[in-house]
A and B are shown apart, each in its own frame.
Chain A
Amino acid sequence: MSEVKSTPERPLSPHLQVYRLPYNALMSISGRGVGIILSVVLMVLLGGFIYVAQNAENYDQVMALLKLPYVSWGLWGLVFLTFFYLGNGIRHVLWDIGIGLNQKAGIASGNIVLLLATILTLVLWQFSCGCWSAQVRDQDAPVQEEVENVR
């Protein structure tokens, strides 16, 4: 690559400081932002996997952590971000093939990605019988069962 002499004051490549953010630009930069978030998450995931695989004590420790209500809600957020990022990636592949390369189609496909990510997250939520925080409620469930047995 040829080195162009640049001063640090110049705006950098995606020109966040220079341009306003219309819908497609906002989708683009949030795709990148989500990518960065997910890469940090992946590092934590792999580190966590290594930790958890060592022995049962570590495993139970992490499982207890994951079942905390706020953590489980955070995990659902990550599921949504994963679907969003995957959809966005497919959108980019289609663009590179040459499909949907105009402003209208860009807005449409962006909406499809957001909608699909939301739907898939909700479907998964439904399939997992509520959510992880429902398990916290389930810990109280035996009491209800006992009540029913008495009846």
Chain B
Amino acid sequence: MSAKKNQTIQTPLAKAKGLGSAHEGVHHWLMHKVTTLMNIPLVAWLLYTVFHLKEANYTEFTTYMAQPFHSIAAILFVMVTLYHMALELQVVYEDYISCRILRMFKVWGMKIFFFVLGVATIFTILSLGFTVTG
């Protein structure tokens, strides 16, 4: 009907495409909530660790971190918080950066940086865990 009026070669389907839901975002939201809940015990662990080690020397620190429970908790903390942070900051960037290209590079740059930081931290935790002390 309107195709006749507008004399366009575009089909109605082509006009409608890309205007609907992005079909993503539920996962983003759900992961944000799941990591929020996972962070409750992990932050508790972090606070315990900080206060437990506040007067520790280097050897005490490394032996504490080398215990499997604490190594695993530390790795989980790094993974979960960095993931949560990436989701959170992505929303901030999307809300406040109106330039599409800049926003894209900001989000990608942040995620790549978090990957690098996460891998470096986990490597450090593992190297403490697998170092034979004493």
Residues of A within 8 A of B (CB): 1-3, 6, 8, 10, 12-14, 32, 35-36, 39, 42-43, 46-47, 49-50, 52-53, 55-56, 59-60, 79, 82, 86, 89-90, 92-93, 96, 124, 127-128, 132, 135
Contacts and interface: CB of A to CB of B under 8 A. Distances in A.
Given A35-B88, A36-B92, A56-B57, 9 more contacts: A2-B18, A2-B20, A8-B98, A14-B95, A46-B118, A47-B117, A53-B127, A59-B57, A93-B33
Given A13-B95, A50-B121, A59 B39 contact: no
A34 B29 CA distance: 19
Main secondary structure of the interface of A (DSSP, over half): helix
A39 B36 CA distance: 14
A72 B82 CA distance: 24
Main secondary structure of the interface of B (DSSP, over half): helix
Contacts of A49: 121, 124
B92 A96 contact: no
A122 to B, nearest CB: 14
Task: Give 7 closest A-B pairs by Cβ, nearest first.
Answer: A56-B58, A13-B95, A89-B36, A59-B58, A39-B85, A46-B121, A2-B19
A50 B89 contact: no
Interface string B85-111: 100110010111011100000000000
Nearest to A59: B58
Contacts of B117: 43, 46-47
B51 to A, nearest CB: 5
A86 B40 contact: yes
A150 to B, nearest CB: 27
B81 A127 contact: no
Contact of A39 (B78, B88, B95): B88
B61 interface: yes
Given A59-B58, A79-B47, A3 B92 contact: no
B128 A53 contact: yes
B22 interface: yes
Given A2-B18, A12-B98, A79-B47, A135 B55 contact: yes
Most buried by A among B61, B118, B127: B61
B37 interface: yes
Contact of B51 (A2, A35, A59, A128): A128
B78 A46 contact: yes
B89 A12 contact: no
Most buried by A among B29, B37, B88, B128: B88
A1 B43 CA distance: 35
A52 B61 contact: yes
